Amino acid sequence: MSTFRFKRFAIGQERSAMKVGTDGVLVGAWATVRPTDRLLLDIGTGTGLIALMLAQRTEPFAADGGGARVVGIDIEPVDEARDNAAASPWSDCVTFEQVPVQRFEPGVRFDLVVSNPPFFVDSLTCPDAGRTTARHAVSLPFEALRDAVVRLLAVDGRFTVVLPVEEGARFVALCRGHLALLHRTEVRTTPRKAPRRVLLEFGAADACDADRPVVEEALTIGTGAHESYTEAYRALTRDFYLKF
């Protein structure tokens, strides 16, 4: 399927290595978007899915002093993301730039940074170069992602990322002393399966209370029956998915 349709926008994905998937929708819906967030960044934007989800979520706050600006960046071409944004209701507030985050110098700091990053560290790479870039932490090692977030995040900003559980634990360990873990949600596909993904929210280490407990939660996507989803997952994603 070349186009994935959501309630308020559509994602063309013919030219992008990674298509619309659950990970992107999860992190775009789960990230905390505050009424005061005015500058938002999507690292590894791909089709622009997460950037457009963030634009939709900031829309209710636009009347409180101007709309938010969402920026998506990617090491790969962003033409398809630009086309998707141009066809959306938020074409005037979403922009894209083809640049590695290590060299991204916007001259501002962001209230919210979100990423569905490449995460395979020790596995074999894929013969498809585009998919390797999108899913293997070769061009964007975890340390580089951490350092970029520290550099780009506002003092009271938040960083949200989705990772497999094992890689998530590795990333949390790498962030100690740099970013403070605030919120962690383990994600299961069905009740009987082990968690496959983890959603993580961080704040700047210097701006967070070291004794603040981490909010620990769990989310299950499906009930186990065919095409049957939990109410929690429906509630999280119903502003986006047509089926909800």
Residue 136 has pLDDT above 80, yes or no: no
Residue 47 has pLDDT above 50, yes or no: yes
CB burial class (10 A; 0-12, 13-18, 19+) of residue 131? Answer: middle
**Given this model, what pLDDT does residue 1 score?**
56
Q: In 3-state terms, what secondary structure has residue 32? A: coil
Residue 55 has pLDDT above 90, yes or no: yes
**Given this model, what pLDDT does residue 112 score?**
98
Residue 133 has pLDDT above 80, yes or no: no
Tokens for 82?
């630009």
- Supply the DSSP symbol for 229: B
CA distance 80 to 234: 28
Comparing 57 with 208, the larger pLDDT belongs to 57
Q: What is the pLDDT of residues 159-187, one digit of tens each?
A: 999 999 999 999 999 999 999 999 999 99
Q: Which pLDDT band, with edges at 50, 70 and 90, does 127 fall under?
A: low
Q: What is the pLDDT of residues 58-83, one digit of tens each?
A: 998 876 656 799 999 999 999 999 99
Average pLDDT, the chain: 91
Class in CATH terms, 3-237 = alpha beta
Q: In 3-state terms, what secondary structure has residue 188? A: strand
Segment 43-48 mean pLDDT: 97
Angle between helices 22-30 and 49-58 in degrees, nearest 10: 30
What residues form DSSP beta bridges with 179? 204
Residue 132 has pLDDT above 80, yes or no: no
Q: Could you tell me the pTM of the whole model?
A: 0.91
**Given this model, what pLDDT does residue 138 score?**
59
**Given this model, what pLDDT does residue 67 score?**
79
**Given this model, what pLDDT does residue 119 score?**
64
Q: Which of 3-7, 79-83, 130-134 has the lowest mean pLDDT?
A: 130-134
Residue with tokens 């340390």: 143
**Given this model, what pLDDT does residue 151 score?**
98
Phi and psi at residue 136, to the nearest 5°: -110, 135
